[in-house]
Amino acid sequence: MNIELTQEQKRIRIAEARGITHAWDVPRNPVGATACGWLGWSGGKQVAVPDYFGSLDAIIPAVREMPEAMRPVFVSRLADVLIESGGREISTFDYTAADPEHYAEAFGRTINLW
């Protein structure tokens, strides 16, 4: 799609793809601590939007829920993201360098969110 999105916009797109709707940003409290961050609706309940770009615990379940047929595409996209971020070739078996940001970016590209 080649659309330039901020990381927060990408985070919302992933959330929407996973069934969270009507997401909005809850303002931070005056002392700078996070009140709630992003909230949305899922299954008729208010939920926090997971930090897909900051937590493997958030993005890995999304990856695991992808259809089996999409997994090779995901692995290829993850390799592309790693190469782009490191500027070097990476073995297809060496994904230990991948962080949540890499996984979330590869996930979004795999399911054509951006």
**76, two tokens:** 């290829």
Report if residue 38 sits inside a domain.
yes
Nearest to 104 by CA among 2, 1, 18, 3: 18
Residue at 2 is within a domain: no
Is residue 15, in this structure, part of any structural domain at all?
A: yes
Q: Could you tell me the pTM of the whole model? A: 0.82
**pLDDT for res 92:** 56
Q: How many domains are there within the chain?
A: 1
Q: What is the pLDDT of residue 24?
A: 77
- The boundaries of the domain holding residue 69 are 7-110
- Whether 68 is in a domain gets the answer yes
Of 48, 50, 63, 49, nearest to 98 (Cα)? 63
For residue 1, is it within any domain?
no
Q: What is the DSSP letter of 81?
A: H
Average pLDDT per run of 10 along the chain, which is 114 residues long?
Answer: 81 94 69 60 88 95 96 93 76 74 96 95
- Write down the pLDDT at residue 64: 96
